[in-house]
Amino acid sequence: MEDILSTLLNSINETLATAIVVLTASLFIYNLTRNLRNRIARTSGIVLACVTIVSLCDVLISMRPSSGTLENIVRAQWIGIAFVPAATFHLSDALLATTGLPSRGRRRRVARLLYFIGALFIIAAAFSNILIIPIIRNTTLVNILSGTLFSVYVVYFAAAIGVSFINVQRAKQRCLTRDTRRRMGYLQFAMLTPALGIFPYSVLLGLSETASVGMLFLVNIANTALILMLLFLSYPLSFFGTQKPDRVVKADLMRFMLRGPATALLAVAVINLFTPATRILGLTATSIIPFAVVVVILFWQWLIAIAIPWLQQKFIYNNEDDDQLEKLQDLSERLLTRSDLRQLLDAVLSSTCDYLQVSTAFVVSLVDDAPELVASVGPTRPNANWLQDEKSAIISVLATHGSPEKSELSAWQTYWITPLFGGRTPNEYGDQAIIGFLGIQARSGHIDLTTDEQKTFHTQVKRAAETLEDMNVQSEIYAALEGLLPQINITRSRAAEVEYRPGRNGQATATPELISEREQIIEQVRAALRHYWGGPGLTSSRLLEFHIVRGALAENAENPARALRSVLQKAIDLQRPEGERKLLSPEWMVYNILEMRFIERDKVRDVANRLALSEPDFYRKQKVAIEAVANTIIDLEMSERRQD
Residues 391-427 have pLDDT tens digits of: 787 877 777 765 667 767 888 888 888 888 877 656 5
Whether the pLDDT of residue 285 is over 70: the answer is no
In Å, how far are 31, 492, 501, 561 from 509, measured between CA atoms? 20, 12, 11, 32
The domain ranges of the chain are 2-242, 244-332, 338-473, 515-643
Taking residues 550-555, what's their average pLDDT?
Answer: 88
Residues 359-372 have pLDDT tens digits of: 899 988 887 656 88
User: Which CATH code fits 338-473?
Assistant: 3.30.450.40
Q: Tell me what pLDDT residue 113 has.
A: 94
Q: What is the amino acid identity at position 266?
A: L
Q: Check the CA dihedral 296-9-256-26 and report its sign.
A: negative
Taking residues 523-533, what's their average pLDDT?
Answer: 84
Mean of pLDDT over the chain: 79
Radius of gyration of the CA atoms of the chain, in A: 30
Q: Tell me what pLDDT residue 427 has.
A: 54
Q: Tell me what pLDDT residue 566 has.
A: 92
Helix, strand or coil for residue 479?
coil
Assess contact for 97 and 75: CB atoms under 8 A: no
Lowest mean pLDDT among 68-82, 113-127, 203-217: 203-217
Within 553-606, strands assigned E span none
More confident residue, 400 or 158: 158
How sure is the predictor about 512, in pLDDT bands with cuts at 50, 70 and 90?
very low
Whether the pLDDT of residue 116 is over 90: the answer is yes
Highest mean pLDDT among 145-159, 329-343, 369-383, 505-519: 145-159
Residues 582-594 have pLDDT tens digits of: 888 888 999 999 9
Assess contact for 176 and 501: CB atoms under 8 A: yes
In Å, how far are 114, 136, 148, 450 from 454, measured between CA atoms? 43, 71, 61, 6
Cβ-proximal residues to 386 (8 Å cutoff; 6+ apart), any chain: none
Residues 303-354 have pLDDT tens digits of: 988 888 788 777 776 655 455 556 656 665 566 667 778 888 888 899 888 8
Taking residues 557-566, what's their average pLDDT?
Answer: 89
Residues 429-469 have pLDDT tens digits of: 456 778 888 888 888 878 888 888 888 888 888 888 888 88
How sure is the predictor about 539, in pLDDT bands with cuts at 50, 70 and 90?
confident
Whether the pLDDT of residue 123 is over 90: the answer is yes
- Percentages of the chain per state (helix, strand, coil), in multiples of 5: 65, 10, 25
Name the fold adopted by 2-242.
Rhopdopsin 7-helix transmembrane proteins (1.20.1070)
